[in-house]
Amino acid sequence: MIEKIKCIIVDDEPPAIRLLEKHIAKVSFLELITTTTNSLAVLEILEKQNVDLLFLDIQMPNLTGIQLSKIIDSKIKVIFTTAYPQFALESYDLNAIDYLLKPFDFERFYKAVSKLKPHTEVKHKESSATNYVFIKTDGKNNLEKVYVDDILYIEGLKNYVAIHLTNKQIITYNTLKHIYETLPNHKFIQIHKSYVVSIAHIDKTSSTTVQIYGNELPLGNTYKTDFFKKIDMNIL
């Protein structure tokens, strides 16, 4: 079981808060406690809540992010988020984990929070760093290297799993649940008891189907809410 990092967003710009909320929701080891636009309110929150990490804007009324970081308990980690690069040097003097210059994308965000990734997480789940996994094929020691970004979708077939790639299909003796849990959480989503899909390869969706590379897959009622919640993070 992964011990989650409890975090708070402190930013006076609602669009910046919404972007961070979407990024945090994609990361399995982060847990968002609350958000606030008031830097002074953070001090009260920290008295009542156990918090591990602050996403802290620098240019804020009352207390700047830098001033606030000097007041809080040194055990609480800080990742500064700002549109002003001139504060970078001072932020590193304060032992900040990272300095995210707005606007930043998910890849840059994930690189920052990965510095705090819990050590209890299973090593093979760090496939977002290596970007590949080894799949058992026929035979005890027969393994095939599969790049995560080449996976279109995964299909459960009783005691076997079919991994559909951009150029071929691999059958392995495994369970859909185990394969799904091994892959990067932010790149895949289960849509049916028999299907897990790559979010990046989705072409179209409807209330009952998901289309990938011309393949129309069923969208189960049990999975709809979580599916569209995750898809909503990328709607313009």
Give the position of tokens 């156990």: 50
Share of the chain above pLDDT 70, in %: 86
Per-residue confidence band for 87, with pLDDT thresholds at 50, 70 and 90: low
Contacts of 49 (CB under 8 A, 6+ apart): 6, 8, 33, 34
To which H or E segment does residue 47 belong?
helix 39-48
Contacts of 174 (CB under 8 A, 6+ apart): 136, 160, 161
Q: Global pTM?
A: 0.50
> What confidence tens digit (pLDDT) does each residue in 91-112 have?
445 667 888 888 889 998 998 8
